[in-house]
Structure 1
Amino acid sequence: MRVTMIGSGYVGLVSGACFADFGHEVICVDVNQQKVDDLKQGRIPIYEPGLDALVASNAAAGRISFTTDLASAVADADAVFIAVGTPSRRGDGHADLSYVRAAAKEIAQAIGRYTVVVTKSTVPVGTGDVVEHIIRETRPDAEFSVVSNPEFLREGAAIEDFKRPDRVVIGANDERAKTVMAELYRPLSLNAAPILFTDRRTAELTKYAANAFLATKITFINEIADLCEEVGADVQLVARGIGMDKRIGSKFLNAGPGYGGSCFPKDTLALIRSAQDYGVSLRVVESVVAVNDARKTAMARKVVRACGGSVQGKTVAVLGLTFKPNTDDMRDAPAINIIDALQRAGAKIRAHDPVGMDQAKAVLHNVTYTDSAYDCAAGADVLVLVTEWDAYRALDLKRLHQVMKGAVIVDLRNVYREEEVARAGFEYIRVGAMPKLGKANEPKANEPAA
């Protein structure tokens, strides 16, 4: 089948490359000429494991190409996917649909025959109706259907998620469109991937509801972690205990500094605003957003407490800047709020991230960026692990102890075991367990007191 992907960002590029790998002919369209030129040269604008090789192999086979010419890409397509950004609208939190509207109008002008227009972008309920209205108003003679096909891709595991999905949700209001979409996803039948056909509005809401529920699980276990710290319980064991219940499940029950990224923050806020438009109060989701926002700054206070109540003039080494491992995405990353709060408290920040430092430099200033975790830790009073990259899971703790000035590790992802950190001479502060502070502010045994 001939597939056109409008938007060559994260969702559009991953989806386009995977469709091409299925054997479809894919054209990815983007308004950014530099991005298109880079893609033609095999330079991938985002970090996603395996994506560069997938694009290269399918480009070499002639199954995927890149252009800025939307009209020619749409004219002969069987399916046109709208995969443009829908950021939070400044000031009110509604999803900004300006790019979706613009894409719909351009698609309408270019349609040459029956075409299924698919919203792949995360959009509020009713957006499919808006897209259909724009196309009909622009081209009353056009033969088309509008379908909702939300994405459920995890950054860092997007290719696997696309090819072996938990489910594919397709919101289509006519049989002809369902037939096209079923053929498009037919290669997934080998893996027996469940495909759920719904009406269009149900599909649109399913995406928002899924993200809101996952955000709720994260926020719930973070609040339980706070209680664990006060009563002397261990949140990791609590999470394991409740996660064994099949009704609950173990995923998204890892306590930490709060959720971030390109989806959960904007999607929970957009869902709240959509509900308000219909006179519905989503009090649970509203609380999730408020608690998560406060969570990130609370993690900075945790670091301050670990340093004896003040970080004024002290050096804090931060490991991990992106919102999660295996991505260079800094959008709403907890590290941003944590570092900002620590800087306002007078701390000097050294930082390292395996992939995201170039992106971090655009949003985090007055930070010393280093080449390795050990360079980052050199001379630091405290080490804070913010993002659980694999590269940080087996650090040489004795080496860290040698290069650091202080002897405190604050692990916001609960990567290490307290016993092994203590054996290396550190005080270890983690999330969801009663802190065992002792001599965090005293000099090391081999150093004289100031």
Structure 2
Amino acid sequence: MDKTLVEKYAAPVPRYTSYPTAPHFSADISSATYGDWLRALPKGASASLYVHIPYCDRLCWFCACHTKQTRQYEPVARYLKALDAEIGSISALTGNRLNVTALHFGGGSPTLLEAADILALGGRLRDSFAFATDAEISVEMDPNDMDEARFDALAAIGMTRASLGVQDFDERVQRTINREQTFDQTKWVVDAVRARGVGSVNLDMLYGLPHQTLDSIEATTGLVLSLRPDRIALFGYAHVPWMKKHQTMIDEALLPDAAARLEQAEVATRLILDSGYEAVGMDHFALPGDSLAAAARSGTLRRNFQGYTTDQADALIGLGASSIGLLPQGYVQNMPATGEYERRVLAGGLATVRGVALSDADRMRSWVIERLMCDFSVSRCELLARFGEMARAVIAEAELLAANDRDIFTRAGNRFVVTERGKPFVRSIVAHFDAYLGRGTARHSVAV
């Protein structure tokens, strides 16, 4: 990789798991707005559910999620009562009109929940919504939480995919980020979920962490590959201490620069691809028979707040503090503070505090950004067919980018294409189509 490309294109930009991105949500979107949008969902509409558990029994210093540490279960139990109330309110507004095709438990640490509460929450969701018989149910798991009762409870609620954070197996790196987790622990969890019939396992890795070296990345990648997960996510560590104060526990002097980060990513990518995985988007990999790889090949890959996905649902309904939802009309986000979230939903209302109503221009730019992030190309003809004369402004922007930055972006016949050299910088490329970027004071992590 030419270091001049790194210097030119590795500037901080959003991760583009939504468009507009979350910093541009506003308080103009209220609980009343969200209620109207939910009522407007037609009978038979498909929906995916995201359930956020904003608690961990330890705080990983690299984490950028909305979560807090607790050593007591009482705050978790209180939160679950509020979550139950929100599920009831959403169900009352949507009735039995929705067909739930996917359910994702995220956090925080969903596996912090006791087995009985896992069963109760899974039952409450199935009682409140109509689930498709083939609904995907995925759970983010912390191996340090797990025991046989939790494994059994997750199997009982129908878990189809387990997602485990590995980050790096090097002990020095783990101590520095406060995430100690042995390979044996991880293997035990992978073996346990597979023994219970869970057909898909995802492992997350990070590069760009303190004390990481090419040797540690190579060793960790080899151990991950020995477990033969169905999917692998290879994320760059997002250092955002102005947003997440616990990241100040990480000494910035120990972090690799952008060129070293990219070299780490390239080493891991080469090993993963050489082991028979297919690249999916900019940072995911899947075995050829996995549905994510199939979606990438067919051009049906999607991107949302969980990253790359096969989810084609008409609506994403977020449940829990800080959760974000997407309906045909726009985005909504719940109150992030758990105490205020609980107060609002226990009073019988919704917890929406901000969002954005999508304009036609937003939908167009969102489509362009998603296709470039997923397919690394976008069709000029399809842009015009979908969005008419409005698309000419975006086409002009693409023409200009292709003329000025041909190392990373070019035009090939009817299509605008991210080059092989440009793929590591795809976030920087799609930022050119972000009409909101530069408004406000939002800060972002580096692009590689």
Which interval holds the TM-score relative to the shorter structure?
Answer: under 0.3
Q: Give the alignment's TM-score, normalised by structure 2.
A: 0.27
Q: Larger relative CO (CA 8 A, sep 6+): 1 or 2?
A: 2
From the CA coordinates, give the structure whose radius of gyration is larger.
1
Compare the two structures and name the one with the higher strand fraction: 2
